[in-house]
């Protein structure tokens, strides 16, 4: 019994922190979001980890596709930043809070419906723990509302090339210029 528990711990530990194992990429700092090692699936069904985004800036938000009001506004704000940041290397990542419903196929359809350019937009699905840990790191508070939806905070987070959080906007009053100021050409 004891041994089984130890084994379970060892496995979960290894899964939680693959980054700490031998890896070609330099280990992230103690404050990088890329310290999270979970595996995700994008809208095209490709597996990836967050640190695969390293090397360029990333704008990340969390929401869900059946979200009636807040998420379209989040997307609109991200799109406004995309427009204002023309010419800069920037990745847009939208992570679902509702992974059971928002399958990769659904995320793909959602991206198409909102005209999100696959060259710069990634929509992610992960398991419950991956979603919970990322939300915890980004400070996204969320709660199922009992009717298939979620109450959640609308935080936009800008990550630098190494996954460090350089800027967060906690509400909907987003001025794209504030974000672009953090992105020298």
Partner 1 sequence: MARRMAIMAASSLLALMPACAEPMAPVPAGAYTPFFKFIPAKGQRATEPRPVGIKAFRLDRFPVTNAQFAAFLEKAPDWRRGAAPRLFVDPNYLRRWRDGAPPKGEDNAPVTNVSWFAAQAFCESLGARLPTTDEWEYALADAGRGQAQVTRASLDWFAKPNGARIGDVGGAPNGYGVSDMIGLVWEWTQDFSATGSGTEQRNTSSKDDAAFCGGGAAGVRDPADYPAFMRYALRASLKASYVQDNLGFRCAGDE
Q: In whole angstroms, what is the distance from residue 98 CA to residue 149 CA?
A: 8
How many residues form the binding site for partner 1 (CB under 8 A)?
Answer: 44
**Binding span for partner 1 by CB under 8 A among 5-13, 42-50, 105-113, 116-124:** 5-13
Both tokens assigned to 118: 């696959």
Cβ pair 153, 140 in contact under 8 A: yes
**Binding span for partner 1 by CB under 8 A among 39-47, 81-89, 104-112, 170-178:** 170-178
CB atoms within 10 A of CB 136: 11
Shortest Cβ 163–partner 1 spacing (Å) = 9
Q: In whole angstroms, what is the distance from residue 184 CA to residue 85 CA?
A: 10
The single residue among 49, 153, 166, 178 that binds partner 1, judged by CB under 8 A, is 153
Closest residue by Cα to residue 61 from 172, 175, 143: 172
Q: Is 175 in the site for partner 1 (CB under 8 A)?
A: no
Q: Is 70 exposed, middle or buried, given 0-12, 13-18 or 19+ CB atoms closer than 10 A?
A: middle
Shortest Cβ 38–partner 1 spacing (Å) = 13
Between 108 and 132, name the residue whose CB sits nearer to partner 1. Answer: 132
Q: Is 25 in the site for partner 1 (CB under 8 A)?
A: no
Exposed e or buried b for every residue in 28-57, given b needs 16+ CB within 10 A? Answer: beeebbbbbbbebbbbeeeeebbbebbeeb
**Binding span for partner 1 by CB under 8 A among 25-33, 47-55, 85-93, 107-115:** 25-33
Both tokens assigned to 120: 């710069």
Segment 72 to 101, residues that bind partner 1, using CB under 8 A: 73
The single residue among 14, 25, 31, 83 that binds partner 1, judged by CB under 8 A, is 31
Collapsed DSSP state (helix, strand, coil) of residue 137:
helix
Q: Is 143 in the site for partner 1 (CB under 8 A)?
A: yes
- Residues near partner 1 (CB under 8 A): 2, 5-6, 8-9, 12-13, 16-17, 20, 29-33, 35-36, 69-70, 73, 132-133, 135-137, 139-147, 150-155, 170-173
């Amino acid at each position: 019994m004891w041994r089984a528990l130890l084994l379970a711990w060892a496995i979960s530990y290894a899964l939680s922190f693959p980054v700490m194992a031998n890896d070609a990429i330099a280990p992230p700092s103690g404050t990088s979001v890329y310290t999270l090692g979970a595996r995700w699936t994008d809208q095209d069904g490709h597996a990836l980890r967050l640190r695969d985004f390293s090397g360029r800036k990333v704008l990340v938000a969390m929401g869900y596709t059946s979200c009636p009001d807040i998420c379209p506004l989040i997307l609109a704000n991200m799109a406004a930043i995309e427009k204002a940041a023309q010419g800069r290397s920037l990745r847009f990542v939208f992570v679902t809070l509702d992974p059971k419903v928002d399958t990769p196929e659904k995320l793909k359809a959602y991206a198409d419906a909102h005209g999100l350019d696959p060259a710069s937009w990634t929509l992610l699905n992960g398991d419950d723990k991956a979603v919970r840990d990322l939300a915890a790191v980004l400070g996204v508070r969320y709660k199922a509302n009992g009717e298939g939806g979620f109450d959640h905070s609308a935080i936009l987070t800008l990550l630098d090339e190494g996954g460090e959080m350089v800027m967060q906007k906690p509400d909907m009053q987003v001025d794209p210029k504030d974000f672009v100021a953090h992105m020298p050409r």
